[in-house]
């Protein structure tokens, strides 16, 4: 028998003996699309190389953080200098203060911010704070929005759970989620009804303003306006989950995009992650001073984390934010992303393949559907078999997108015009093969 020389397969076989499913986060497992996960050996700029030495144009970017591309010199330098000073202290550092100040300067809805280590931790803590500040228990979330794997939020969640067709997770007792109301995204009638029935008991409404875990679906402006109005009317807090969109779709996040359409718009609490850590494990949540001062040690809402504000992670995040604040950065990033989406739409149309796409800043999504979906049930009408063929067609030709049709994609400042053109040319070839199968 000829020995298997595929290093990705060798590593995956070994990993499955040691790690559940062979991966440390479910969507990496390729279960939805089939085949063998690519084990990354190194990355630079818009590319990574797998264990076999194969190069890929990377449109995941660590699921969003690598907005500058991999290994940006200024970020690498900042991290290396931080490492020489110490990995972790369990005591305050100046960089924590500097990063908090940088975030607050860029997000006007925040007066204060608390740094944590993951988006899940930030979302979980924001909900606890909302409940503590309002003295209420119930919360609203939307089907297809994913806010991390805290028990109370694993109710018809999107992302990895949707990939495996599980509406909830085992191990979550019914009584833990009894206060979580799950509504259809962009459904005004359900929203009105939920507040009419439960408004006095609602602590918060949590939403991804541009959902990235049912691919890329925007909250319509009238829907978002009504979310704000109803929360204000009933004394509930509007919580924006901007773990993905924060500093990714615009310098001020998705909330700045909605503020242009809705005068005076702002959420009460915001949850951030990914870009603010530059690829390091770092996240945050923040809001007005009166709410944030309900947190310990000032207030009765307890939240803590040994590695929160890690000195190496804050160095990485500060260096990243410094780069993306430069004039013209987001104009250039948005232009690249739009060029990619327009090229993919044209390539699909030329072959008669149903295809729709949308983007904002450096975040994008596409569907094998003739029109953009507006909620999770519409997203589920996508042809998963066709997507799997598309995924592997791109992968075999050196283009790496999310291995699940429920995930958004990301362009970095490091992607060149040549990278975009190569991707469109590859997609054109793949769409041609798809059209032959229809």
- Active-site positions read 146, 241, 274
Integer Cα distance of 155 and 146 in angstroms: 9
38 vs 58: CA distance, rounded Å: 12
Pairing between β-strand 237-242 and β-strand 269-272 as defined by DSSP bridges: parallel
**Would you state the structure tokens that stand for residue 222, as one six-digit string?**
């009238």
Q: Which residues contact 172 (CB under 8 A, 6 or more apart)?
A: 151, 154
| H-run or E-run covering 285 | strand 283-287
With 0-12 CB in 10 A as exposed, 13-18 as middle and 19+ as buried, what is 370?
Answer: exposed
104 in Cβ contact with 297 (< 8 Å): no
What distance in Å separates the CA atoms of residue 45 and residue 61, rounded to the nearest whole number? Answer: 10
For the record, the structure tokens of 409 come out as 């994609």
CA atoms of 406 and 388, how far apart (whole Å): 12
Cα–Cα nearest to 270, from 299, 291, 294: 291
Strands (E), 123-209: 138-142, 180-183, 202-207
The answer to whether the bond into 144 is cis (omega within 30° of 0) is: no
Half-sphere exposure at residue 432, Cβ-oriented, CA atoms within 13 angstroms? 6
Alpha-carbon dihedral 218, 220, 223, 227, rounded to 10 degrees = 40
């Amino acid at each position: 028998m000829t020995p298997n020389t595929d290093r990705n397969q060798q590593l995956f076989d070994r990993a499955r003996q040691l790690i559940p499913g062979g991966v440390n986060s479910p969507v990496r497992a390729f279960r939805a699309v089939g085949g063998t996960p690519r084990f990354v050996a190194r990355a630079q700029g818009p590319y990574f190389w797998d264990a076999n030495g194969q190069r890929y144009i990377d449109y995941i970017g660590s699921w969003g953080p690598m907005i500058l591309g991999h290994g940006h010199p200024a970020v690498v330098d900042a991290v290396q200098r931080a490492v020489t000073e110490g990995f972790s202290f369990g005591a305050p550092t100046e960089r924590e203060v500097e990063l908090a100040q940088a975030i607050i300067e860029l997000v006007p809805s925040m007066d204060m911010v608390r740094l944590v280590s993951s988006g899940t931790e930030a979302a979980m803590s924001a909900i606890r704070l909302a409940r503590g500040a309002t003295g209420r228990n119930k919360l609203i979330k939307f089907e297809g929005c994913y806010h991390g794997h805290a028990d109370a939020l694993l109710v018809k969640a999107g992302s990895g759970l949707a990939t495996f067709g599980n509406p909830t997770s085992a191990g979550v007792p019914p009584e833990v989620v009894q206060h979580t109301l799950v509504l259809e995204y962009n459904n005004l009638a359900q929203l009105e009804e939920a507040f009419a029935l439960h408004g006095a008991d609602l602590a918060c409404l949590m939403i991804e303003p541009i959902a990235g875990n049912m691919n890329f679906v925007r909250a319509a402006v009238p829907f978002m306006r009504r979310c704000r109005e109803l929360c204000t009317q009933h004394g509930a807090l509007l919580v924006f989950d901007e773990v993905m969109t924060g500093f990714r779709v615009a310098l001020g996040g998705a909330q700045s995009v909605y503020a242009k359409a809705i005068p005076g718009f702002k959420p009460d609490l915001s949850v951030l992650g990914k870009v603010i850590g530059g690829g390091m494990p770092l996240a945050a949540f923040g809001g007005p001073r009166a709410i944030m001062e309900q947190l310990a040690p000032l207030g009765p809402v307890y939240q803590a984390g040994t590695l929160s504000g890690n000195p190496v992670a804050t160095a990485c995040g500060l260096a990243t934010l410094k780069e993306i604040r430069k004039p013209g950065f987001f104009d250039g990033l948005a232009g690249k992303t739009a060029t990619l989406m327009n090229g993919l739409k044209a390539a699909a149309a030329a072959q008669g393949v149903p295809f729709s796409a949308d983007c904002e800043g450096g975040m994008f999504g596409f569907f094998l559907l003739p029109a953009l979906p507006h909620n999770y049930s519409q997203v589920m009408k996508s042809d998963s078999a066709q997507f799997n063929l598309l995924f592997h067609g791109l992968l075999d030709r050196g283009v790496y997108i999310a291995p699940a049709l429920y995930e958004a994609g990301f362009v970095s400042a490091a992607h060149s015009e040549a990278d975009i053109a190569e991707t469109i040319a590859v997609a054109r070839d793949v769409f041609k093969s798809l059209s032959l199968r229809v």
